[in-house]
Amino acid sequence: MARRAGASRLLILNRTMSIAIQNITKRFGLHPALRDVSLDIHDGELIALLGPSGSGKTTLLRFIAGLEFADARDGRISFQGRDVTDLSAYQRKAGFVFQHYALFNHMNVYENIAFSFRVLPRSKRPPESAIRERVTELLRAVQLEGYEKRLPTQLSGGQRQRVAFARALANRPEVLLLDEPFGALDAKVRKDLRRWLREFHDLTRLTTIFVTHDQDEAFEVADRVVLIDQGTIQQSGTPSEVRNNPANSFVADFLGLTENDAPAARTECQLKTR
């Protein structure tokens, strides 16, 4: 309890810094996934980690959640000024939405969302009435009222995605992490969910980080875009900053800004390969 009080005092001092990542390096075998990455994320920000596949953006997200650990001991990460480097995923309790939802197929929607309460020790577990209230509130927020008894396999992709959102948010995480949240959905549902995420974020101001390889998605939804390639951060800034002042040739290339006729050249290329 004493630690908690200390942490909340820090929280007041450091209020604007939600997540601080310092000097993270991670290798998978010989392949370096992250090279000395540092990133500060402010309270209430909505951030997109944008980059090509294999750039290390998902590894960074999983590192924040505690699903991956850094190689070198000098890499640190803190939430709200509280060092969480050595805490495992189940102690950090970051809300995480997986690319393919990872819903529990043998549990209905209600139990999926209530899961983070079910695993609490008895002394900390809220009463069933409070859990019911929270689940109902979340189902309303994701527009799935009345779906409590459905199994995940009886839902469409978009509905499953929204259940995954609700489940990640249930126990009020300090941060919400989304891995390619719209990647597996068709275009129409994608657009709706993007708008929904933006509105939801404006309402709650919950610090949110999402990974995407789709620049339209990143620029349309995020407050700040962090471009990653080859395990390093290439540029970080608001959508207009990045668009108007690409920091290097990778950013310019990736956004298709190298030359004025770059988009046309790309189309030509695509036509040729067909």
Partner 1 sequence: MPGATSIHINNRQPLRATGDSLAVRALLIGATLVFFLLFLFFPLVVVFEGAFSKGGAAFLETFRDPYTRHSILLTLVIAAISVPLNTVFGIAAAWCVTRYKFRGLSFLITLIDLPLWVSPVIAGLLYVLVFGAQGWFGPWLREHEIRIIFAVPGMVLATIFVTFPFVARGLIPLMQAQGMKEEEAALTLGANGWQILWRITLPKIKWGLLYGIILCNARAMGEFGAVSVVSGHIRGKTNTMPLHIEILYNEYQFASAFAVASVLGLLAIITLILKTRAEWRAEQELRASSFSTAP
Positions touching partner 1 (CB under 8 A) are 65-67, 88-96, 98, 100-106, 115-116, 118-120, 152-153, 160, 167-168, 170-171, 183-184
Among 17, 60, 75, 76, smallest CA distance to 41 is for 17
Least distance (Å) between residue 102 CB and partner 1: 4
Least distance (Å) between residue 48 CB and partner 1: 20
Instruction: Choose between 116 and 208: whose C-beta lies nearer to partner 1.
Output: 116
Characterize the bridge pairing of strands 175-179 and 207-212: parallel
Instruction: Choose between 118 and 140: whose C-beta lies nearer to partner 1.
Output: 118
d(CA 164, CA 157): 11
DSSP assignment of 198-246:
HHHHHHH--EEEEEES-HHHHHHH-SEEEEEETTEEEEEE-HHHHHHS-
Q: Residue 185 in 3-state DSSP?
A: coil
Q: Which residues, in sequence order, are CB contacts of 12 under 8 Å at separation 6+?
A: none
Least distance (Å) between residue 174 CB and partner 1: 12
Least distance (Å) between residue 178 CB and partner 1: 12
Number of Cβ within a 10 Å radius of residue 252: 17
Instruction: Choose between 97 and 227: whose C-beta lies nearer to partner 1.
Output: 97
Instruction: Choose between 15 and 100: whose C-beta lies nearer to partner 1.
Output: 100
Instruction: Choose between 141 and 247: whose C-beta lies nearer to partner 1.
Output: 141
Torsion angles phi and psi, residue 19, rounded to 5: -130, 130
Q: For residue 18, what is the DSSP state?
A: E
Least distance (Å) between residue 12 CB and partner 1: 25
d(CA 256, CA 10): 43
Least distance (Å) between residue 96 CB and partner 1: 4
Least distance (Å) between residue 38 CB and partner 1: 23
Instruction: Choose between 151 and 257: whose C-beta lies nearer to partner 1.
Output: 151
* Residues composing the chain: 274
Instruction: Choose between 176 and 251: whose C-beta lies nearer to partner 1.
Output: 176
Among 67, 56, 89, smallest CA distance to 173 is for 89
